[in-house]
Structure 1
Amino acid sequence: MKRSFSVVCGITVIGLATVGCGKRTPVVEVSVNDSGVTVEEIAVDGELDLAWPQWRGGVGGRANEDAATTSALPTEWNAESNVRWQADVPGRGHSSPIVVGDLVVIGSATETPAEQFVLAYDRNDGRELWKRVVHSGGLPSARAVHRKATHANGTIASDGVRLVTAHLNSDHVWATALDMEGELLWQTDIGAFVSKFGYAPSPVLYKSLVIIAADNSGGGYLVGLDVRTGEIAWRRSRGNVSSYSSPALVTVDGVDQVVISGGDRLASYAPATGEMLWETPCIAEATCGTAIATADRIYASGGYPEKETICVDGKGKQIWSNRTGLYEPSLVTDGKNLFAVSDDGVAYCWDAVDGKQHWKKRLGGNFSSSPVIAGGNVYVSDLSGNDYVFQAGAEKYQLVAKNRLGDDCYASPAVAGDAILFRVGVGQGAGRQEKLFCIANES
């Protein structure tokens, strides 16, 4: 497969990082003046249903409550009941499903053959419509990937015209764009990557840019690319720490920002230019969860080795914090309350304004998946395949249902109209098979 490399002039090499093996990966900073890329609004087909177009749905894991169908979402199911359809997923991946128009799209990977690929399924009946291999060979070695991780961790982002994904391959991070039929549009090497546990972040879309993070010990960076061409519009150095959070596009006090945790700080950047707006020392060296926001506040949690959940205003000033840490799962809010489920299975509800703890409940088990809010309920799955549905309320923890689809669940659910989509693992060891379930109330 032919790969296009972005070439820019008048740039400065900064942030040389020396890692344990002595490898250096210079970060080449690029400004929009260097690249000449113009950031513009992208026309979106008003008839196209962008139900859940990227990681966390693009709105921090909260479904569009304006859709009347959210009130019809199921709360109880198993592998035989309230299943609209199910489909086999080849390989392994933690890439969560997205829903765009009539497509459900995920990423996956196999080691034999060594391939990273994108799959599209029919939203109505689960038929596999196409599969596009974006990388053959070049997978990281086993020692460079965490035992829980895969070679397809990131969730795909779509503007309804393109599908954009990012992979670690051949010691670099590559951004790839496909059209809605799975044909390759462009592929760009966005930078070198020294892997400690693999690559995890998902891309996020802003106007005509796609923004991708790549924090690593060899020299981390945040990159904005022209989604139409794959040309690098800007690139910013982020230091020399391995961290795994995805960038989040938020609008706080009317200001668009890209916020990301990791490297012992929460940092904000202007999405059109990559210029840093502010950074606040907090949380931990390594984080996995994605920050979320309300109209006037930003929330983030992590991590390793320290633990902290923090709330800041739109300029990074701390409002409140506590010593609870979520490493893999992300937070979710309904605007009034902040909900969380920790890696070791404790659910929390805090007041979004002052951080007061309303309740705390041990669910048991372990969690990697992030919760979503829809129809007044929180939906979240554990690593044993149990799906919890509890009320998104502050008065007390109120379990609505505990369901089960498979034997494990790493990916996060997507909400689309009257249905919820889950990616789960069924079976164990060599016999394990990943499946995609569309859960909806039986008519």
Structure 2
Amino acid sequence: MKRLLSLSLLFLISHPICITAGEEKEDSVEPINVKATDWPWWRGPQRNGIAYANQNPPLKWSETENIVWKSPIPGRGYSSPTVVGNRIYLATADKKQETQSVLCYDRATGKQLWQTVIHKGGFSTKGNKKSTHASSTVACDGKRLFINFVNDGSAYTTALTLDGRLLWQTKITDYIIHQGYGSSPAIYDSLVIVSADNKGGGAIAALKRKDGSVVWKIDRPKTPNYPSPIILNVAGKDQVLMTGCDLVTGIEPLTGKKLWEIEGATTECVTSTVTNGDLILTSGGYPKNHMSAVKADGSGTVVWENNNRMYVPSMLVQGDIIYSVTDNGVAICWDIKTGKQIWKARLGGTFSSSPVLVGDRIYVTNEAGETYIFKADPKEFELLGENKLGTEVFATPTFCDSRIYMRVSEEVDGKRQEFLYCIGKR
């Protein structure tokens, strides 16, 4: 597989050796220098799809209304915008040139500042027709960027500086493409935690942010699966939560110790789990539709389950209330403690993007680019707005400072072209 030189500097591919806890003196914790008002990784600052408070993004927009700027995106991808400071980061892939890249945009103007090619060549022709070669979302610790790509039969995590210089790259595992790959890196303490479940037998691993060396690594079953590792505080402790491969698993983030593991969920999951601090939610779509609430205290208790299909869009939890949108476009509100359905309403279309909670509003966009805004109200469904932009949306939008950063594709001169939109009140 061919590698490129970036900014005329040789980039070093690390060959880390896995260490066992206690064999090496613990390093001092590296700070994570991002603001509470940034959106530094997949699912936002709290990793749960909830935007920070005191925002008032628009309820209405169109091609000509409440558009602050619009910038073209080269290639194709489903990576969500990552916003840190005055910059926006995206992953993208050019199928014709066989390149996988990270892009950087100026947050104020939308001007593209740089593009760094991570991999060239090594593309697979396998996968779901909806999948892309750049479906993972960039994570940022305020000093470095981290991105996952599958290339030439392997899953890699790569680190860059904020100006696009390649720092290190670590192979996580061999990877057999089934549907595709979209697991995003998760930053915790001095680590970046990554996963790559697949039919060849995947792995969950924690790498040192500073050099990519492997701190711990867990082998996974030989089944296809697609969630990102999500780190949440549940049952009184921080846990790396993974669903799928017919398992639900809680892992200690610093050591990789399995805190608990039960049979549950389904073979293939996509969604990122959420919690109320006591229960975590699992959902899957193959070989059956499945949703459940599991106690993450080590008891492995499944409190309730049903056969609803939130296979791709992740859910939201606010207190003891669940808000979800099914793949086929039905919004549903549930009681997390009992699994009782409180209300449901038809939105329309097919959904791959996940809903985002902003204050008391939920924003969710279907694959046709139609965004529905409804109230986060456990009493009743109330539609607040409906907007259309572009012809196709798969990436989940990002919300910062009352602006929405949305990755949208359109037909331009008969060809598909992606754009990054900044939506805000004008």
Who is 1:149 aligned against?
131
- Percent identity of paired positions between Structure 1 and Structure 2: 37
* Pick aligned residue for 1:214 from 186, 196, 200: 196
Could you tell me which residue of structure 1 aligns to residue 31 of structure 2? 43
Unaligned runs of 5+ in 1: 10-29
- Report if the CA contact (8 A) 1:167-1:175 is conserved: yes
What is residue 275 of structure 2 aligned with on the other side? 293
Q: Which residue of 2 aligns with 1:18?
A: none
- The one-character-per-residue Cα deviations of 1:168-200 (angstroms, maximum 9, x if unpaired) are 011111111111111111111122111112211
Whether the 8 Å CA contact 2:72–2:418 is kept in 1: the answer is yes
Contact residue 39 and residue 207 of structure 1 kept, 8 A = no
- 1:74 alignment partner AA: P
* Counterpart pick for 1:116 among 100, 107, 117: 100
Matched, 1:239 2:240: no
For residues 363 and 203 of structure 2, the distance between their equivalents in structure 1, rounded to whole angstroms, comes to 33
1:6 equivalenced with 2:15 (yes/no):
yes
Q: What is the match of residue 40 of structure 2?
A: 53
Among 213, 228, 232, which residue is 1:250 paired with? Answer: 232
What displacement does 1:33 show? 4.8
Q: Per the alignment, do residues 41 and 355 of structure 1 end up closer, same or farther by CA in structure 2, a change over 3 Å counting?
A: farther
Match of 2:378 in 1: 394
Distance 1:202 1:304 in 2: 21
Q: Tell me what 1:26 maps to.
A: none
Match in the other structure for 1:363: 347
Where in structure 2 are the equivalents of 1:359-438 lying within 5 Å? Answer: 359-427=343-411, 431-438=415-422
Q: Tell me how far apart the structure 2 counterparts of residues 164 and 32 of structure 1 sit (CA, whole Å).
A: 24
| Equivalent residue in structure 1 for 2:84, among 85, 88, 100 | 100
Contact 2:187 2:193 survives alignment (8 Å) = yes
Q: Which structure 2 residue ranges, 5 or more long, are not aligned? A: 5-10
* Letter matched to residue 60 of structure 2: E
| TM-score normalised by L of structure 2 | 0.93
Summarize deviations over 1:203-259 as a string: whole Å, max 9, x none: 101111101111011111101000110111111011110001111000113201000
Q: CA deviation at 1:332?
A: 1.1
Partners of 1:39 and 1:170 lie apart in 2 by 33
Q: 1:430 to 1:163 in 2, by over 3 A?
A: farther
Deviation at 1:428, TM superposition (A): 7.6
1:39, distance to aligned residue in structure 2 (A): 5.8
How far apart are 1:264 and its partner, in Å? 1.2
Which residue does the alignment assign to 2:171? 189
Shift of 1:165: 0.2
**Which AA in structure 2 matches 1:55?**
W
* 1:63 corresponding residue in structure 2: 51
Q: Which residue is 1:310 aligned to?
A: 292
Give the match for residue 65 of structure 2. 81
User: What's the RMSD between the two structures over aligned residues?
Assistant: 1.7
CA distance in 2, matches of 1:208, 1:136: 29
Aligned position for 2:317: 333
CA distance in 2 between counterparts of 1:97 and 1:354 reads 35
| Maintained 8 Å contact 2:135/2:181 | yes
> Matches of 1:73 and 1:87 in 2, distance apart?
20
Change (3 A) 1:232 1:367: same
What's the offset of the Cα at 1:337? Answer: 1.3
Q: Could you tell me how far apart the structure 2 residues matched to 1:346 and 1:122 are? A: 36
| Alignment match, 2:7 | none
Counterpart CA distance in 1 for 2:283 and 2:138 is 23
Which amino acid in structure 1 is aligned with residue 41 of structure 2? Q
Return the letter of the residue paired with 2:209.
Answer: V
